Structure 1
């Protein structure tokens, strides 16, 4: 017996209550398998793919790309047939992102169901859903339409092989518009720009961000010209024109967290210059010995964990309700990573138990996932201390905002050759500025200064770390 099951937006964890649909990965009429990703959504934490817990035929989708849905809202419906030969019913019950069977999803197949509702506003009729899934029950094998070869376009949208991008006047209502990235598509949608009316300036007619911005500038100019009176002795002041970017997703979550940090945490900053010449030599010697290469960030992370073992006050948080300082047992080290979607802070779990090789590997894994937008919510939460290497941007110093609800953040500037007094003589050394921003509620300046001085001593004399191995 065929039944239509509704799959709702699952709880993505960490208190997330909504998500925005970025891209549908299946169409109505597609055959899906258990734990196959069906939609890509963006939360306040990360971009994630949501797997479906059922196998069958997609009969309806709910929500267009760009729509925000609350947790528990319907995502799609699936027509599920009778149990297979092994007695399975086609459902895994898994509804959490990142949990699945581990088996690769089957290749998408198309069936020819009867017309169904394509679900932006309602549930498909029972008779239509029954006809859509009947081919599974009657023939045992889904019927396929004639095969269509597809090739990926530059924007990731599949296009029939050999096809060229259509001119705006030639595009049909259903033909994908070649856009360089989802961010450009969102920019156009939020400002009312019809991408089908644009001729892209990129290769093969690809629509670039500059194309959309040109349209917005022209629209703003027309609006100003239309609003300007023929003659007015005292024109009313107008709001400056420009592109409006909603504070939501990763950017919105960052804004909320930093604003809360400024409101609640009485922070202070201290800094010191350190001679990093010996640290750079030690790293070069490690990498010359063979084996996995050790990153500079990993060595700085190892120094941080050693310093936190000496000054545990800085690995803590403040419980305002109970008016208590909570010193944490484990060091979950966050590090700032700049991505196309904004600043994110992935977290290395149990950093205090890792050596330089393990830290290098985990930092590389999280950085790659952050740039690809595939970090799980668990990778972005639970940090107890943050390391911010802003030196990669070519700056010497900074006073960063503490990553609430943590108690401190270590900043590292660029390492550059400077004149330095070494062993009583003036010499050119590799110098770095280190800064520590800390919550003045958890410790006084003496503790913060002791922590920062120990970090600087380890940078100048890496052999000091041998005491903690």
Structure 2
């Protein structure tokens, strides 16, 4: 007798309570293996593929693409241990759930099928400690022939059968998103990447080679309740955009911020960077040098590396500097965090900035990569602007902004010269310090930008 087990949206950690279904990776009737990704979801922190802890035949799916589900809501049901799929499509030999986690504590998924009393532990490639926190409520197995307590969702439209080896091999979630927006069926593409991976170029080539549409209907289905032509467009505040809106609103409501700024001559800093990179080895980025200056300034002014605990009415100063930096992606603005930035060299900071930026653009940042920052460095100069008064990244206490570096007239050694000038701004929580401390921090940063040798005192 087969058991039908219900798999619910698991706790994705970091206090996340909901996720949006981006793409189903399986259909009703598909045979799935233990730990096979079955759905791609987007949270307020990242886009992730959710693996199923059961092996068997998918008997129902709950929720459509674009729908937001709370943690604990049903995702799908799987017939485990069936000798034959419900539609007679074949044996479900993969239908045995994992019996126990591996001895190395790697966080692999497990499930107990004894009377439905076991908990499900879903691993996401994180530490065993964090995986142990991600438990899904127990489910009760029932026979396939018995009536379901949960109302079945409408059967989805037929889709082409997936390859025998599993889901469609795609290089990143952004490629899946591009395919959805352009109306490209990934299962009909042959990937040009390693091992047949489907790349962005494959999707774009499929778009250019597709025959011209015969009507003017949109490529993506129009959601229910869409506005008529000429009416105002309504964009839901959810996912990353919703999380940003909530955090910025809370920052404005709770933090009495102030901003001070100064112009600095960055000519010597640019020359120092050029000399470093000319000496060979890994290239050092300008952002890494600015980050190194920030960590030295925070060592002198630890008041700015803190947060306010309103409940306890205390200022909590962090001994470590976990440096956030703003990164613009197709999904919106995100702030990845470089852990223990104060212990890293300029080369180490460059490598970590590059890794996190690439992960942000690919949509593969984990929730842990986006939380826990103590100070933020915002390089808005990449957008071609000189200055800004940014909103502090709650619950941090300060943010350093860096404008573009451009040639400007400057008095140098008593004479007018053309120098590389940058505007630096510091937005700070006035509860943690006064203007004197904020000004001292900003002046030290400017001094290091103008005379990089000043930084040698703290190395």
Cα–Cα, structure 1 residues 317 and 146, in superposed 2: closer, same or farther, change >3 Å? closer
Is structure 2 residue 46 aligned with structure 1 residue 56? no
Is structure 2 residue 44 aligned with structure 1 residue 15? no
1:59 CA drift (Å)? 2.5
CA contact (8 A) 1:151 1:159 kept: no
1:322 CA drift (Å)? 1.2
Partner in structure 1 of residue 239 of structure 2: 249
Alpha-carbon distance in 2 for matches of 1:308, 1:4 = 56
Which runs of no fewer than 5 residues in structure 2 stay unpaired?
83-92, 101-108, 111-119, 129-143, 154-161, 171-175, 191-200
CA contact (8 A) 1:10 1:96 kept: no
CA contact (8 A) 2:55 2:97 kept: no
Matches within 5 A, 1:72-221: 72-81=72-81, 89=99, 92=110, 93-99=120-126, 122=151, 155=179, 157-160=185-188, 203-205=209-211, 212=218
Cα–Cα, structure 1 residues 160 and 15, in superposed 2: closer, same or farther, change >3 Å? closer
Alpha-carbon distance in 2 for matches of 1:46, 1:432 = 33
Cα–Cα, structure 1 residues 221 and 20, in superposed 2: closer, same or farther, change >3 Å? closer
Cα–Cα, structure 1 residues 213 and 51, in superposed 2: closer, same or farther, change >3 Å? closer
Partner in structure 1 of residue 456 of structure 2: 466
1:170-196 CA-partner distances (Å, limit 9, x unpaired):
xxxxxxxxxx9x9xxxxxxxxxxxxxx
TM-score, scaled to structure 1: 0.72
1:30-57 CA-partner distances (Å, limit 9, x unpaired):
3333322221111112211112222333
Partner in structure 2 of residue 305 of structure 1: 295
Cα–Cα, structure 1 residues 313 and 31, in superposed 2: closer, same or farther, change >3 Å? same
Cα–Cα, structure 1 residues 10 and 287, in superposed 2: closer, same or farther, change >3 Å? same
1:220 CA drift (Å)? 9.9
**Secondary structure of 1:50 counterpart:** strand
Match of residue 440, structure 2, among 450, 456, 465: 450
Cα–Cα, structure 1 residues 415 and 341, in superposed 2: closer, same or farther, change >3 Å? same
CA contact (8 A) 2:34 2:98 kept: no
CA contact (8 A) 1:9 1:74 kept: yes
Matches within 5 A, 1:321-332: 321-332=311-322
Partner in structure 2 of residue 109 of structure 1: none
Partner in structure 1 of residue 282 of structure 2: 292
CA contact (8 A) 1:35 1:100 kept: no
1:215 CA drift (Å)? 11
Alpha-carbon distance in 1 for matches of 2:242, 2:391 = 16
CA contact (8 A) 1:59 1:116 kept: no
CA contact (8 A) 2:53 2:98 kept: no
Alpha-carbon distance in 2 for matches of 1:43, 1:220 = 24
Cα–Cα, structure 1 residues 338 and 276, in superposed 2: closer, same or farther, change >3 Å? same
CA contact (8 A) 2:34 2:97 kept: no
Alpha-carbon distance in 1 for matches of 2:295, 2:338 = 11
1:416 CA drift (Å)? 0.4
CA contact (8 A) 1:413 1:434 kept: yes
Is structure 2 residue 333 aligned with structure 1 residue 343? yes
Match of residue 397, structure 1, among 368, 387, 393: 387
**Secondary structure of 2:242 counterpart:** helix
Partner in structure 2 of residue 411 of structure 1: 401
1:151 CA drift (Å)? 10
**Secondary structure of 1:29 counterpart:** coil
Partner in structure 1 of residue 44 of structure 2: 44
Alpha-carbon distance in 2 for matches of 1:56, 1:213 = 34
CA contact (8 A) 2:23 2:65 kept: yes
TM-score, scaled to structure 2: 0.74
Cα–Cα, structure 1 residues 30 and 434, in superposed 2: closer, same or farther, change >3 Å? same
Which runs of no fewer than 5 residues in structure 1 stay unpaired?
102-114, 125-143, 163-179, 183-199, 225-240
Partner in structure 2 of residue 352 of structure 1: 342
Partner in structure 2 of residue 66 of structure 1: 66
Cα–Cα, structure 1 residues 359 and 145, in superposed 2: closer, same or farther, change >3 Å? closer
Alpha-carbon distance in 2 for matches of 1:378, 1:295 = 24
1:352 CA drift (Å)? 1.0
Cα–Cα, structure 1 residues 374 and 451, in superposed 2: closer, same or farther, change >3 Å? same
Cα–Cα, structure 1 residues 74 and 222, in superposed 2: closer, same or farther, change >3 Å? closer
Partner in structure 2 of residue 368 of structure 1: 358
CA contact (8 A) 2:54 2:98 kept: no
1:356-406 CA-partner distances (Å, limit 9, x unpaired):
111111111111111111111111111110000000000000000101110
Is structure 2 residue 60 aligned with structure 1 residue 32? no
1:19 CA drift (Å)? 0.7
Partner in structure 2 of residue 3 of structure 1: 3
Say what the alpha-carbon RMSD is for the aligned residues.
3.8
